[in-house]
Structure 1
Amino acid sequence: MTPGARLQSAIGILTGIFETRQPADRAFDAWARSSRFAGSKDRAAVSEIVFSVLRHRAQLAAATGSDAPQLLAFAAIALLQGEGADAAAARADGTPHAPSPLTDDETAALRAAALPGPDAPPWVRLNYPEWLHPEFEAALGNSLEAEMAALMERAPTDLRVNALKATRDRAMALLADENVETEPTPLSPWGLRLTGRANILGLASFRDGVIELQDEGSQLACLATGVTPGEQVVDLCAGGGGKSLALAAMMRNRGQVHACDTDARRLGKLMPRAQRAGIRNIQTRTLGRFAPGAADADLADLEARMDCVLVDAPCSGTGAWRRNPDARWRIDPETLAGYRAAQSEVLARAARLLRPGGRLVYVTCSMLPSENEKQVEAFQAAHTDFAAMPWRSLWPADIAPPPHANDGAYLRLTPGSAGTDGFFIAILRREG
């Protein structure tokens, strides 16, 4: 592909993302599948333009005075890739598959464009919606600039070593034999971090269940549950089951993990993963709708019996913006309100399942207080028999020391402070 064709492809992908709010990874994958002529270097170049625009959309819009995907893509090449306005505009030469030549107004805007300086508002310089600024400011305080800058960086690719099949050192050696170089993650005892690129799903180590893709922060959330062999555990929002697999491995295949979700399609992927990992103590169940004031037919047999319920709640995903930079532009007040309502509902559903002395572990990949501390406070106000536990109280010190993080009841992980995705973890014990 020519440079112009790469740029035009990026503009087409961005236009679809802006118009339909389709997740960027799906839009890019759809383009790649339909563009068999594009080699690996072409795909990498197109991806670089697309995701540069999504990470820096507010900056580029302020620089050009426009939110049109075409001009933002040209500005990304001119300002972020350092080609300059004239070189970027030269890609629009009217040749087949290249963009049409820029208009005089577009050319003038591109030549005048400059990235916002230090006096620009933080939501412009650091690329997040202005309406979320009060929440981020309340959550991050003096760390706001550093943390929001960290959320603009690319996330590393982390793996979790399946402790039922290999030690971390053994897994590193197996991966090295497949020409995949890794290094230990600094916080999780199970974690490996890629130091280069690799097709993880095509590796023998993956097919044999030695490794799984999982961010280090997600691994730490599993450790914080403190699950032990023989316990009865519910993963109430299991999705594809990444945390269920980690919990089952912590339990050494003894006891039971009940992996539950309302999405049968996603949950259906779990049992093949469990079989590959050598895990035998997981069972799945698909859940229907829940009404807090009515009986819960789907989970009636588990009520007041569980030692631990993990609620990996649906949320805004603001802590994972490094991986999904387009998500920062899809969130709106109505969507956030919907997440908060879902969080309240799933917490109420979880409360019924715990025996006296059992614990509820509430986890989000959000950095917003309205989804984190405020949700826990509202839950405790409605469920006075639940008391917050310090997050270190259940940490399995025989597996790994707890991370150096904040004191208090809640564990907060952020890209800037921990190098992980943003996570919030609260542990609530049922008294009586």
Structure 2
Amino acid sequence: MPIGDINVPIVGKNVVIAVLVQSHILFAAFIIGAVLIAATSEYMGMVTKQPRYERFARNLARFVVLLFASGAALAITFVLALVTLFPVFFSYLQNIFFWVFLVEAFMFLGQIIIVYAWYNVWDKLAYRKNLHVVFGFIAGFFGLMAMTMIDAVASYMLTPAEAPATDVARTFLNQTMVPLNMHRFVGNFGYAGFLIAGWAGFRYLKSTREDDRAYYDWMGHWGIIWGFGFTMLQPVIGYGYMKGIRESAPDAFDRIMLDNAFTFNLLMIWLTVLAVAATGYFVHKLRFSVRPMPFLRKLAIGGLAFTALFSVLNLIPADGHIATGITFLGGEETQIPLGGMYPWKYIGLIGLMLVGFFVVALYLRASASGFHWGNASRWSQFALIACSVTIVFTMVTMGYTRESARRVDNDPGYLIYKCITLDQKVVSENCPAVSDGVNTISGREAG
């Protein structure tokens, strides 16, 4: 049997890798974000002397410890599957990123050690809280460094560095490494925050004790601040990332924005649900401010109306073509007013972001005086749950969009853009990973 010519019956090896990678990312992104949120919450509890922060931080740390084994098992299974199903591709990737993989392994090991130590010495360091909080932030730092190493590999696969593969610094800091890393850094907080808020909403609906309802009401508030606040940064960061792809891998950019335009529409749907549900939750909570603020609530209601308006603007398609095989009103020949990327989608995204920040600022202003916890309505908790479900769909859609961009037109489709094809054949004339004595660079200059 030729090396690398192994397939998986029925589903195929591409689907196996996709499922393993996406599952691992859903675990890993939550763990990284949750560790830093828990460490910050513990610090807030130390400063404010409010026991709910300490309770939340400890419970979240316990959950991270329990979750870590599952995430690690998925990572190991993914690597084994990649070595088995794509050995030629993995050998090139390992040669290019040997030092990156080595550093990532030690960062991952450090994260495991510190996370478990952080949780296990919680009581022993109760009177040295400063030191214990530092443990939490160090664990988060190791997680971020491990993520950064992997982002260098992932970004290189889509936008190979315009330099020989032996240039370690250039391959690491390729054209989209920084915006991708920023995108994932911010996304980890938003993703973890929304999931925490959704779990709090679920527990609130199930709780019968007054003190538990008050705690889970507060927990939903704390999670949605992290989730919505950081997610509203993504349009600007995402624009920078897409700009890097357009300049470095134009065919992949066309694949995202034209051939796979339906994924952009899906992302806009998910973003609409997140924005409207979160803003509606904020408007609702302002009713329970300890210090009545009717004017702020009226402003927040206006913000909700603008959120809906900008969301609708983002949802309008550019033409009658939605996806392959799905058209209306004559398909691509029918241009729809207000549906173009420029300027309308930019206006919609920027407007959504600015209104989001405005509403969050109003909400934080009201939260300074506190809320009456435990009186939230059921629909507001369903809004939190809807956000938590939607953010998972958002993560999956974004992952599919980025990874499928290398397929271009599937003729041939790439594992490394303009470098190694899906069937693991090396495109030597355009591939910086090949040590053939020719210092060729990426397809944009070579082709």
Higher helix share: 2
TM-score range, shorter chain: under 0.3
Higher strand share: 1
